[in-house]
């Protein structure tokens, strides 16, 4: 049983490594290979909101408004976000993701898709069916 656990640990570690490599590749494709996990998390927070303001993002991320402003200024210079005035109240600014920002925010999702594609390319139909059956048992 111990050997099985060790083999499973090795295989899962390999899958995580492949997913992480895919995430880094996506960041590099966007021209931002050094983006941090925290920065990607802030972009994910923006992506999950429809009309997020500076105050709203400060509340979501539990940061001060000056910290959020500094962060958004940095993201803007990186080409990840832009500001858009509310059409009904010109005092309100929304934070919007550019296509680059959206790709980074969704990098984990894309990385998992790439991992699945690699798995599917490595397995025949019966192996894929068996893998799905086994993984469904994991709770």
Tell me the sheet residues that pair with 94: 53, 84
Indicate the pairing of strand 93-97 with strand 81-85: antiparallel
Mean model confidence pLDDT for the chain: 92
Domain boundaries, the chain: 1-34+106-139, 35-104
Contacts (Cβ under 8 Å, ≥6 apart) of 22: 110, 111, 114, 115
Give the mean pLDDT of 47-73.
Answer: 93
Please state, in angstroms and rounded to a whole number, the distance separating the CA atoms of residues 24 and 101: 14
Percentage above 90 pLDDT, the chain: 73
Q: Which CATH number fits domain 35-104: 3.40.50.2000, 1.10.10.10, 3.10.28.10, 2.30.130.60?
A: 1.10.10.10
Can you read off the two tokens belonging to residue 13?
């570690």
Reported as a single tens digit per residue, the pLDDT across 19-42 is 889 888 999 999 999 998 889 999
pLDDT of residue 3: 78
The pLDDT > 70 percentage for the chain reads: 99
Q: What kind and span of H or E run contains 46?
A: helix 37-48
């Amino acid at each position: 049983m111990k050997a099985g656990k060790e083999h499973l640990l090795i295989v899962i570690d390999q899958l995580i490594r492949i997913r992480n490599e895919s995430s880094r590749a996506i960041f590099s494709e966007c021209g931002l290979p050094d983006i941090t996990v925290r920065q990607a998390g802030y972009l994910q927070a923006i992506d999950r909101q429809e009309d997020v303001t500076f105050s709203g993002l400060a509340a979501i991320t539990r940061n001060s408004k000056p910290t959020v402003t500094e962060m958004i200024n940095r993201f803007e210079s990186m080409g990840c976000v832009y500001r858009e005035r509310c059409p009904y109240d010109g005092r309100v600014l929304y934070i919007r993701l550019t296509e680059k920002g959206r790709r980074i925010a969704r990098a984990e999702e894309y990385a998992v898709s790439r991992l699945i594609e690699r798995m599917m390319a490595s397995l025949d139909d019966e192996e894929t069916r068996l893998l799905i059956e086994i993984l469904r048992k994991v709770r």
